[in-house]
Amino acid sequence: MRVYVNGESKELSGPTSLAELITQLDLPAARVAIELNRSVVRRNEWSTTTLQDDDLIEIVHFVGGGSQPQITQNDFLFSV
């Protein structure tokens, strides 16, 4: 069976749930969101959602980073 993950073809050996796919891809389940055929799939439905041939799967990774904005005294000045 062939599915498309973020635009790339992926062959699966047999019936596979979204939860199993995330495990196979070695992705941290707590940090991804999944869209299946243009519909968001809730995390509690991943294990019961079985993929079908030619499904389109988009996986978005949540990443942290950046820095806290620095607040200076000048940020609190207003003109009257």
Q: Is residue 80 part of a domain?
A: no
**Identity of the residue numbered 63:** V
- The answer to whether residue 49 sits within a structural domain is yes
23 inside domain: yes
Is the model's pLDDT at 6 over the cut of 80?
A: yes
Place of tokens 């079985």: 50
Instruction: Answer yes or no: is 79 within a domain.
Output: no
Q: Which domain holds residue 56?
A: 2-61
Q: Is 78 part of a structural domain of the chain?
A: no
**Tokens 């498309």 -> residue:** 4
Mean pLDDT of 26-53: 96
State the pLDDT at residue 80: 43
H/E segment holding residue 20: helix 18-24
Counting other chains too, the contacts that 39-44 makes at CB distance below 8 Å and 24 or more residues apart are: none
At 78 the pLDDT is: 46
pLDDT tens readout for residues 41-75: 999 999 999 999 999 999 998 776 666 666 555 54
Residue 74 domain-assigned?
A: no
What CATH number did the domain enclosing 49 receive? 3.10.20.30
Question: Into how many domains does the chain fold?
Answer: 1
pTM given for the model: 0.76
Residue type, 64: G
Beta-strand ranges (E) seen in 6-55 are 8-11, 32-36, 39-41
In this prediction, residue 62 carries a pLDDT of 79
Is 75 within a domain?
no
